[in-house]
Amino acid sequence: MNSTRRTFVASSLALGAWPGIVLAQDKWPSRPLRIVSGGSAGGGSDMFVRVLETRLRERLGQPLYIDNKPGAGGMLAAGLTSSSPPDGHTYFVSNLATNAIGLALYAKPTFDPTKELPAVARISTLTNAVAVRADSGIDSIGALIARMKADPEKVFYGSAGVGTSSHLGGHMFVQRVGVPGKHVPYKGTAANLTALLAGEVMFSMDNLPLYVQQVKAGKLRLLAVTQSKRALNYPEVPTVQEAAGIGAFDVFSWYGLSASTGTPNAILERFGGEIVAALKDPGIAAAVRELGAEPAPLGPAEYQAFMQDEIRKWSPVVKSSGASVG
């Protein structure tokens, strides 16, 4: 958002001049809630919202509908939401790519997540995992590191694209190991998985659910999860941090909701509180885990602080990787 529009929003809020803003606070929500997603229909962003939709509809008296606006790695959807009226009826599925990595990755980001798109609630976290072909002869993260050091010219790692957590996590890993691994970006997670199965890369570090079916089929092996704590569904799989001997390592994706710029705090608190309460319901928590993620509820203030921490964490990683868009 440019400074002229930001000033206009602030002035409008102070004077109560934005159409519908008083109504939004007194009778919110007065119509269905629009949830703008930067992913394609049926993707991860959509699934976490759908898990919550029934509970939130019952509590708020209005349905939620997903408006998919893919493009520019989710930054298009973020920008559209940011400039929507601040009446509490338009939200964005905020996530690691757009609200943390994107600020450093894009030369001209369409919004500033530290000043725009105020936080509503964090919904979930989703660990990545280091995976290799089952027939690679690599049976542990230590064995992978030994292979990398023994044959550094063959250290290729795949990702779902430049600037994704699979790219930057892989970059952090090879940097810590001390081997100049070669990044091979593919067009999305499906293509990255196909490349790993075909033996085009030595390993990849994408979202854990991507690998589950191929692990069950005996085609891939999980070596470690990248979050600093073990995954509840795979307690036998160690973390990179505990098994690799390369220091602190905590790579994971996350999803939540953010509001259009200028949305009143009363609405943020009400909506955020409903989401946090919903995620404490055992049935909803189980549904989130069925998607391969963990419920990770944070209210507005905590989620905003978390995102600022993530920006500080990922900015130097993006810069050291040399990744840049636009």
Structure tokens at 55: 């509970």
Q: Specify the CATH number for 126-243; select among 3.40.190.10, 3.40.1190.20, 3.20.20.70, 3.40.1030.10.
A: 3.40.190.10
Kindly indicate whether the domain formed by 3-125+254-321 is annotated with CATH number 3.40.190.150: yes
Whether the per-residue pLDDT at 21 is higher than 50: the answer is no
Section 228-239 average pLDDT: 93
Average pLDDT in the chain: 90
Q: For residue range 131-182, what is the model confidence (pLDDT) as tens digits?
A: 999 999 999 999 999 999 999 999 999 999 999 999 999 999 999 999 999 9
Residue 57 has pLDDT above 70, yes or no: yes
Nearest to 88 by CA among 29, 38, 6: 29
Q: Examine the pLDDT at 317 and tell me if it is beyond 50.
A: yes
**Confidence category of residue 25, pLDDT binned at 50, 70, 90:** low
pLDDT score of 26: 65
Percent of the chain predicted with pLDDT > 90: 78
- Segment 8-27 mean pLDDT: 46
Q: What is the pLDDT of residue 15?
A: 37
Statement: residue 272 has pLDDT above 90: yes
State how far the Cα of 215 lies from the Cα of 230, in Å rounded to an integer.
17
pLDDT at residue 112, rounded to an integer: 85
Q: Is the pLDDT of residue 117 over 50?
A: yes
Q: Tokens at residue 318, please?
A: 């993006």
What is the enclosing helix (H) or strand (E) of 131?
strand 119-133
The pLDDT of 185-211, averaged and rounded, is 94
Return the domain boundaries, the chain. Answer: 3-125+254-321, 126-243
What's the confidence (pLDDT) of residue 3?
39
Mean pLDDT of the region 221-240: 95
- Please write the tens of the pLDDT for every residue from 204-217: 999 999 999 999 99
Residue type, 25: Q
Q: What is the pLDDT of residue 230?
A: 95
Q: How far apart are the C-alpha atoms of 313 and 228, rounded to whole Å?
A: 14
Neighbours of 271 (CB within 10 A): 25
pLDDT tops 90 at residue 16:
no
- C-alpha distances in Å from residue 264, one per residue of 33, 60, 93, 99, 324: 15, 17, 18, 20, 34
What value does the mean pLDDT take over residues 226-231? 95
Q: Is pLDDT of 17 > 50?
A: no
pTM over 0.75: yes
**3-125+254-321 and 126-243 share one CATH topology?**
yes
**Is pLDDT of 19 > 70?**
no
More confident: 314 or 324: 314
Helices (H) and strands (E) in the chain, counts: 14, 10
pLDDT category of residue 114 using cuts at 50, 70 and 90: confident
Query: Residue 253 above 50 pLDDT?
Result: yes
Tokens of 202: 């030595």
